[in-house]
Structure 1
Amino acid sequence: MARPAVFDSEQLLDAAVRLAASGGPAAVTMSAVAAEAGASSGSVYHRFAGRTALLAEVWLRTVEGFQDGYFKALDAGVDARQAGCAAARYVIAWSRAHPEQAALLLYGAEDFGRAKWSEEHVRRADRGNQRVRATLGSLTADLGGEGPQAAEQVALAVVDLPLSLVRRHLRGGGRLPAHAEDLAERCAAALFDSLHGP
């Protein structure tokens, strides 16, 4: 008698990403993930304590994977302006290379049940958020910006505007245009250049 296939957590999370990308967080259930992966429901429950843990893991794995490259992009620039432009481009390039994961990130942690997450999952999420805030604060200072308005402007340049471009195309089931990285960079550069007024 053949032994049943063994499914690891990564395969099950990949299946959850596909479900979330096509149907939103509500589509990610234990039984749906099992069916998508071709696994038994028992395999899913063996890896994840329940749906809340599954939702937390699929969100956190996606966010942490994105953030790893994002921080590297911010560190790669010769100066702060170049680093910020690289980060804006990275948001687009990563989304182009990982459209299903990008579609997932167009939701928020709350959509993936953060209110019911374990303390460890919440700590992981908070650590990532704190690192983002600290990094953007340093970028703002390195660009010569001061105060909350400057911080908002930098966040708009390297987070909000690139993500809005991704959202407009991916939410409609389309693809990112070839010029998207250049457009994100030009917008970021313009916002950086206007930090000190006209």
Structure 2
Amino acid sequence: MARPPRFDTSLLLDAAVQLAAASGPSGVTMSAVAAAAGAPSGSLYHRFASRSALLAEVWLRTVERFQEGYFAALKSSPDPRSAGRAASRHVVAWCRAHPEEAALLLYGAESFGRDGWSAEHLRRADEGNRRVFATVTELAAALGAAGTQDAEQVALAVIDVPLSLVRRHLRGGSPLPGHAEELAERCTDALLGKTGGAATAG
């Protein structure tokens, strides 16, 4: 029976995330990740064809892990306002539970070298973005959103508001306060309650 690799992909990506959280994307180099993981450089090049591929995987794994729970929250209740509140709470709770990965969300895909990604990495990124857009659009429709402004308000409520709350503390180097999830929910619910026909929703 073949022995499992000592330095698997997950371990190497964990080391890369730690470096990115501490020093930004520029701190994620093949040699730095190898040193942080205590792995030979060959282990990196065996799994990632280039630094561009490594950066793509670091970003995509982080975002896909975040989105998995986010989509589940948006589908968690038949009541759209309840689902919106759950999604907002998820943003804050996930960032609290995963502070290093949350620090990566301060950047964008461009900071992780999106222009140099492979076609497959771009496909994964675009598919995730499409799913977010489609799911938030469905939520807006369920809330009775009427027109572009209402749809934009729903996106503000369930994406920008909780992320802004988290980013302010991450950038300031302060921990998230214990009331952060509740505050995000309240702000989100206030915006959703003023969207289209949602003002009468429960």
Report the alpha carbon displacement of residue 15 of structure 1 after superposing the two structures with TM: 0.4
1:20-39 residue pairs with structure 2 within 5 A? 20-39=20-39
- Name the residue aligned to 2:73: 73
* Contact preservation (8 Å) 2:146, 2:196: no
Report the equivalent of 1:163: 163
Distance in 1 between residues matched to 2:72 and 2:109, nearest whole Å: 23
Task: Name whichever of 188-197 and 139-148 sits farther off.
Answer: 188-197
Q: Which amino acid aligns with 1:68?
A: E
Segment drifting more, 162-171 vs 85-94:
162-171
Determine the structure 2 residue equivalent to 1:154: 154
Structure-2 separation of matches of 1:70 and 1:7:
30
> Runs of 4 or more off by more than 4 Å in structure 1?
none
Separation in structure 1 between the aligned mates of residue 76 and residue 49 of structure 2, nearest angstrom: 39
Gaps of 5+ in 2: none
2: distance between equivalents of 1:24 and 1:78? 39
SS of 2:21's equivalent in the other structure is helix
Cross-structure match for 2:188:
188
Q: Provide the C-alpha distance between the structure 2 equivalents of 1:169 and 1:10, rounded to a whole number of angstroms.
A: 28
Paired residue for 2:122?
122
Map Cα deviations across residues 170-195 of structure 1 (whole Å, 9 max, x no partner): 12222100000011001001101111
SS for the counterpart of 1:106 is: coil
1:113 aligned partner = 113
Q: Structure 1: which 5+ runs fail to align? A: none
Give, in whole Å, the separation in 2 of the partners of 1:13 and 1:172.
Answer: 26
Separation in 2, partners of 1:73, 1:16: 28
The one-character-per-residue Cα deviations of 1:90-122 (angstroms, maximum 9, x if unpaired) are 000000000000001111000000011000000
Cα contact 2:143–2:196 (8 A) shared by 1:
no
Matched with 2:83 is 83
Aligned residue pair count: 195
Match of residue 44 from structure 2: 44
Residue type matched to 2:155 in 1? Answer: A
For 1:151, the aligned partner's letter is A
Amino acid across the alignment from 2:92: I
Deviation (angstroms), 1:86: 0.3
Q: CA separation in 2, counterparts of 1:121 and 1:196? A: 37
What does the per-residue CA deviation read over 1:35-80, in whole Å, with 9 as the maximum and x for residues that have no partner?
Answer: 1111111111111001000000000001000000001111112300
Looking at structure 2, the residues matched to 147 and 40 of structure 1 have their Cα atoms a distance apart, in angstroms, of 55
Normalised TM-score (structure 2): 0.93
Q: Identity over aligned residues, as a percent?
A: 69
* TM score, norm. by length of structure 1: 0.95
In 2, Cα distance between equivalents of 1:174 and 1:36: 25
Opposite residue 169 of structure 1, the aligned amino acid is H
The CA deviation string for residues 136-180 of structure 1, in whole angstroms up to 9 with x for no partner, is 000000011121111111111111111111111112222100000
